[in-house]
Structure formats: C-alpha cells, structure tokens
Amino acid sequence: MAPNPFRVRVPNAAGQQERIVIKSAHEIELMRRAGKITAEARALAGSLVRPGVTTQSIDREVSKFIRSQGAVPSFYRYNGFPASVCISVNEEVIHGIPGKRLLKEGDIVSVDVGAFVGGYHGDCAATFPCGQIDPEAQRLIDATRQSFFEGIAQAREGNRLFDVSAAVQGYVESRGYSVVREYVGHGVGAKLHEPPEVPNYVPERRLGGNPRLLRGMVIAVEPMVNAGAKEVRVLDNKWTVVTKDGSYAAHYENTILITDGAPEILTAPAI
C-alpha cells in the first residue's frame, strides 16, 4: 500500500524527526514470516482473478487465508480503509475498494495486500490479467514488473535511495510509459509505513535528502505505472486513485531487505 504523498521526515507527536529503522537479525526473521504469508496471499488473489468473480469475493478469500495463518490483514481499517485488500481494475492505479463489481474478460486487476504477524508487516502487490487481455495491456504489466527488478538491482548497501528511483523511472519511460508521482514506496517494519519514502522517480527538488542504503533497512519498492500520462486523481470515495486520462495502470511491489550483497525479497513468490 502506497502512502500519499511523497514527503520528508515528518515530525512525530513529540516534535522529533522520524528516523529510518535498521532491523536486527531477530526482527528480520519475524519479517520473513510476515513476508511469506503476504506473498502467499498475493498469489491466492491472483489465482482468483477470472471473469465473473467479484472483487469482494477475492477480498473475502484473501482475508480468510491471512487469518488462517495466524496473521491479520494489514490494510483492514488502516486509516479507515474498509476492506482487507486493495483491488484496482484497469484505469484504477491503487487503493481500489472491493465490492460487487464483476470482473470481465480483458480486465487487468492490481492486487495490493499486507499481513501483520509477530509485530511486523509484509506488503506486496501485482497486476494480473483477467482471462485473455490485449497485448498492449500485457506489455504494460510486464514493463511494470520489470521496472521493479531494474530498481532493486540498485538496492545495494552503499548506494543511494534515488539510485533505485532513477532505475525504475529510466526503465518505465524508455518503454513509453509514465510513473505516478503522488504515491510512492516506503519503509516497512513494525509500522506498515515507515521512513524512508521511496519514489519511483528522482524528484527535481530532493527534499529530505537522498539517504544511503544500509544493511538491515527494509523497504517496499512499488512502481505504479500508467500507459498514458502520469497525472492521477482520487475518486469521491476518497481512496481509489485513477489515471486522469482514463489509460490503464499497473502496480508491482515487494518488501525487500538491504543486505551486504543482493537485496533479499521478503515477499518473494514460493518456488
């Protein structure tokens, strides 16, 4: 789930600046457990995407699975969100609210899910085809997913946060797509959203600096990519973000751990 909008080190209630939390070995083990459940929940959601299914039924089954694992859905009632899973269809970028909508052949369906267990969260997302989809829509899905991997290739100890951002943006724009600006990735841990915020583009004004990536940092990298222009708007429900020009959008996210080598994907799909 993407916070809104990109902002920098907001003071907490005590007037202190929030800091990036470096996870201990014990905390990382707990986050691996949360990540595994979250990844399995995403895979379940993807398997349920087919014509004639309601988004509400997907939400119900994913929530049931998460709870069966001894976890709770991270998004349920989070800042008032009324469901357990964000399900966004076609021009909906993120934060789609599950309901009675029937999926139809050719839709593309973005599923964003989180699980909280042992005091820690996992967070991941992906866009799935509903039946047979247009080749252009599939190319958008594929490019969005690949932009994540282009980004995390730069997620190494000693690099800067915006090295990840630049890699995502460069790949997306080289394919003729656009990156959403108003919503970004984020740190993950005992809180669903922690510092730092992780933009999918390099801000012209580098507000808040460009922190160095350190071993033990855990971040959610989540490209949100539009087939058309980058501009978005929020629907009257105050949650669902859609492309302003009505073009399709796709979303891909994993929670990753910065290590002394290649990053570890804590929400990696089971092999």
Average pLDDT, the chain: 93
| For residue 264, pLDDT beyond 80 | yes
pLDDT at 270: 65
Assign 2 a pLDDT band (cuts: 50, 70, 90). confident
Quote the pTM value.
0.93
Q: Radius of gyration of the chain from Cα atoms?
A: 17
Domains of the chain: 25-265 (3.90.230.10)
Location of structure tokens 């990036």: 20
Q: DSSP class of residue 226?
A: E
Buried b (16+ CB within 10 A) or exposed e, 16-28: eeeebbebeeebb
pLDDT at 129: 98
Mean pLDDT of 257-262: 98
pLDDT tens digits along 119-158: 999 999 999 999 999 999 999 999 999 999 999 999 999 9
**Tokens coding 81:** 């969100």
Q: How far apart are CA 96 and CA 82, in angstroms?
A: 10
pLDDT tens digits along 28-79: 999 999 999 999 999 999 999 999 999 999 999 999 999 999 999 999 999 9
Assign 189 a pLDDT band (cuts: 50, 70, 90). very high
Assign 5 a pLDDT band (cuts: 50, 70, 90). very low
